[in-house]
Amino acid sequence: MGALKKYVHTQVPAEFTEVFSGYDRLTQSLLYARGITTKEKAERFLNPQYDTDLHDPFLLTDMRKAVDRVLAAMRNNEHIVVYTDYDCDGIPGGVLLHDFFTAIGYNNFENYIPHRHYEGYGFNSESVKGFEKSDTKLIITVDCGITDHEAVQKANEANIDVIITDHHEPSDTLPAAVAVINPKRDTEYPFSGICGTVVAYKLVQAILETGKKSGEITLKDGWEKWWLDLVGIATVADMVPLTDENRVFAKYGLSVLRKSKRPGLQQLLRKAGGSQQHLTEDDIGFTIAPRVNAASRMDDPEDAFHMLRSRDEIESGAHVLHLEKLNNERKGVVASMTKEARKRMSTSSEIPAIIVMGSPEWRPSLVGLVASTLAEEFGRPAFLWGRDGKGIIKGSCRSGDVGSVVRLMEEGKKAFLTFGGHHASGGFSVSHESIHTLAETLNAAKEALNTKEVAVSEDVRIDMQITFSDITNDLLRALDVLGPFGIGNPKPLFEIRDVIPDEVITFGKTQNHTKLRFKTDRGRFDAICFFKLPNEFSILPEEGKKLTLLAHIERSFFMGRLETRLRIIDVC
């Protein structure tokens, strides 16, 4: 279905180098690759400022309506429900609003998170019945609600006002809410790429600005910056582009996370062998987010909410232990599902262009993790499905970086009850009748689309060629300034030519990770790659034989030790 990855070097024109002569080679290369062509833009990228680089929250449509309605609810002591999604964007956003209301002394509110397995995604109609019984007058959604017309209508009929804060794609018509705050519905707001928690943070900023002016709210200036730890977690975990104001939120979010007083976060990091002081975006992606998401995937999402919310050492510690247990269970279940999926693939006489498989016994909340593995291993899109607590067939899909799953689903839309997502990943639901022909439908859809419509670029950009002796403190400092890295600001990829490993080993409980060890003039360097064996690179690395490394440089803190190492992308 797709070609092998092609590695290309970044070629920085001489005229660009001349303009940016005050910057080091790596910084020049990365600025050029990201289309940053003026010194003003470069300064803003390299030194994002909280006080000057964030957009005015009142540029978001309906923000004034939302602020006025929240302040009115507070004046009348109305019961408010904060209704959030169950992932690592919605949950931090729910904690943020909890902390906000608590900090300003408003206590007539509650947080509600739907159960992934039994209630499903979004603002659901059934929950409104319970809110009506508790005499709720206002619901504020976080990271959901933008397409939930029926639930909003039910709330309206129950005389409950709804404020939607969301960042997902809106449909042609918006729900009949009091206010709908979503950057993707806007032409006025300068940046549409913020996550759900940031939209909630914008609401908090606007309420504070208005409430302080009117004298209705008294809170120390700048206090809301302590909630940037939650904003940082969500911004990195939700994989929104780390450009524009998201770069501010990610950078300042990490700074606050390193000082955060939340005992749950402190204990979670200690339990995982990490360091709060040296925390990076990778720690969010590989340590914090999986444990927060494990709560809804395996059990009750409120465990993750209370782990972040609680200020009590014992209570938060209990939640950390439970999340650790759930995360380990999640790993075991996913490993079992992956093993079963690989076994099925091994018995196929021919691997189809689109992989489609599932089981009524599989959890829909976990199939995306398996789909990602299969898509990467077999180099083609994978669609996997399971059955939820209501008996509905739901699934997730991943592109394997060789096509657009959205285009495939659009072409085969008659097979789906619902579908959506991004080019690289998505979700769907299917009727019990259509599931039997889903593989046929999707493979026919692939045939109907020409290569240009389905394919995505396979080029991988090499930012700079270096030697081991170039990995100095100056280079590490330059990387610190250029980070945080993620979508829209990928980690710099380095090429290290003609190096000879003195050890090639596998490690881990199941020996499924690779480590290459090198002796250099500056001591030993380790290069590692998780979930990849030596024979899975472009060439097989061998002890005593020259090779070229393509790798990221990272500083890792694990079990009390800080080290600089390479994260292998490929061996050529």
Residue ranges with strand state E in 479-522: 494-499, 503-507, 513-520
**Does residue 251 form part of some domain?**
no
**Does residue 1 form part of some domain?**
no
- What's the pLDDT at 378? 87
- What's the pLDDT at 454? 46
pLDDT digits (tens, 9 = 90+) for 364-395: 999 999 999 999 888 889 999 999 888 889 99
**Does residue 248 form part of some domain?**
no
Task: Please give the tally of structural domains in the chain.
Answer: 4
**Does residue 242 form part of some domain?**
no
* Preceding peptide of 484 cis, ω within 30°: yes
**382 lies in the same domain as 530:** no
**217 lies in the same domain as 148:** yes
- What's the pLDDT at 288? 96
**What is the C-alpha separation between 85 and 116, in angstroms, rounded?**
9
Query: SS3 for 225-242, per residue?
Result: HHHHHHHHHHHHHCCCCC
- Kindly report the backbone phi and psi dihedral angles of residue 447, in degrees, each rounded to the nearest multiple of 5, phi listed first: -65, -35
**290 lies in the same domain as 384:** no
CATH number at residue 506: 2.40.50.460
Q: 3-class SS at 289?
A: helix
Which of 284, 318, 347 lies at the terminal end of a domain, its last residue? 347
- What's the pLDDT at 487? 86
Can you list the residues of the chain whose pLDDT is less than 70? 1-5, 421-422, 450-458, 558-560
Which of 347, 377, 401 lies at the terminal end of a domain, its last residue? 347
pTM of the complete model = 0.90
**342 lies in the same domain as 363:** no
**221 lies in the same domain as 117:** yes
Give the helix/strand (H/E) hosting 16: helix 14-19
Task: Provide the domain limits for residue 177.
Answer: 53-236
**Does residue 252 form part of some domain?**
no
How many CB atoms lie under 10 A from the CB of residue 351?
12
- What's the pLDDT at 2? 37
Which of 347, 362, 394 lies at the terminal end of a domain, its last residue? 347
CATH number at residue 420: 3.10.310.30
What separation in angstroms does the CA of 415 have from each of 156, 432, 442? Answer: 33, 10, 9
**169 lies in the same domain as 209:** yes
- What's the pLDDT at 186? 84
**72 lies in the same domain as 175:** yes
